[in-house]
Amino acid sequence: MDAQKTAPPPAPRAVSCARLHRFVVEALRRAGLSDADAGVGADVLTTTDAWGVFTHGTKCLRGYLRRLKAGGLRAAGRPRLAAEGPAWGIVDGDSALGMVTSVLAMETAIAKARQCGVAYVGVRNSCHFGAAGYYAWLAARQGMIGLSMANDIPSVAAPGSRGGVTGSNPISYAIPAGRHPPLLLDMSIATVAGGKVYAARSRGERIPDTWLVGADGRPTTDPGGYPDVGALQPAAGHKGYGLALLIESLAGILSGAAFTWRVGTWMWDDGTQPTHHGAAFLAIDTSVMMPAPAFARRMEALVEEIHAAPRADGVERLYVPGEMEWERHARATREGILLPADVTASLEEAAAMTGLNCSEFIP
């Protein structure tokens, strides 16, 4: 009887941010990236893990390596500014690592916003770019408001549809908040991440009826057919659906990228082919509109007003978006990142793909 009991999951393993960063850099270098591009990719993925967003951090490295090896991601790809005006630009990603293209695009938006106050930069010929919040934060740490978003292959239903109509299309904003950490929201437009559906299916569990629609377009508690049958439900119904189309318009249509079913899936499609994802980045230089100290004071007042709002019984604290992530980041910087077992297993596969000894980096 005891032998039939489910073994407890392995305990998370702690690794310093610096060691994890070095591991990702070395893996990407062995896949053909330059030192500079490998460093960009490592910074995005390690920062995301430090925030505690393990679905979009170094766990994704294995998938990027697979595409780099196959050629759908180009290790020697060189993103470039293909068209521009004073307050806008279009970056062609050249099928390079999505993080490299996205950092270039947001840095371009920041530079243009310094001249014009507000700037938009769209991206075409890109791939999965990881956590949208990283790029919005690039603007916030320069004292600007940042927005980032991307499209994806459809996996989310529209109200009344029988299958996917839009991608899960992530969107993020970051807003500097004076002496407080930047406000930081990073969300997809689906009710729940597809990974949670996969996990429930693997455990043989039913799911809440707010997660999926089945083949008939009706809510279902059976995850068994996903993703071949049915689709994720949009967050807040028509509201999430409407937001998905805004993201599609800015990241896919306006940028000249692929959109809806023309986008490839970076995880499952032929690794030899580019996915043609689109993305969009906006930067707002608040100092053009009011003195920077005044904006900081007003943001501080907003955060403190929310902190001081009456709380429901049993609630110890009210948070603004991003506070939990910044607290995790500070703890990870001091004590290391506690990597869940599935992340560690994925990194071990990444090490095997590149001839690295994972234990040299992750004890």
The amino acid at residue 326 is W
Rounded Cα distance, 219 and 226, in Å = 13
**Active-site pick, 21, 56, 128, 276:** 128
Going through the chain in order, the beta strands assigned E by DSSP cover: 13-15, 80-85, 88-92, 118-126, 145-150, 156-157, 164-166, 171-177, 180-187, 212-213, 219-220, 231-232, 277-284, 337-339
Contact 92, 271 (CB under 8 A): no
Q: At what angle do helices 341-354 and 61-70 cross, to 10 degrees?
A: 30
- Count the Cβ atoms, other than its own, within 10 Å of residue 23: 26
Contact 204, 188 (CB under 8 A): no
Q: At what angle do helices 98-116 and 35-50 cross, to 10 degrees?
A: 90
Active site residue 128: yes
Contact 68, 32 (CB under 8 A): yes
Q: Is the dihedral of CA 176, 177, 180, 182 positive or negative?
A: negative
Q: Which residues contact 36 (CB under 8 A, 6 or more apart)?
A: none
Instruction: Write out the catalytic residue numbers.
Output: 128
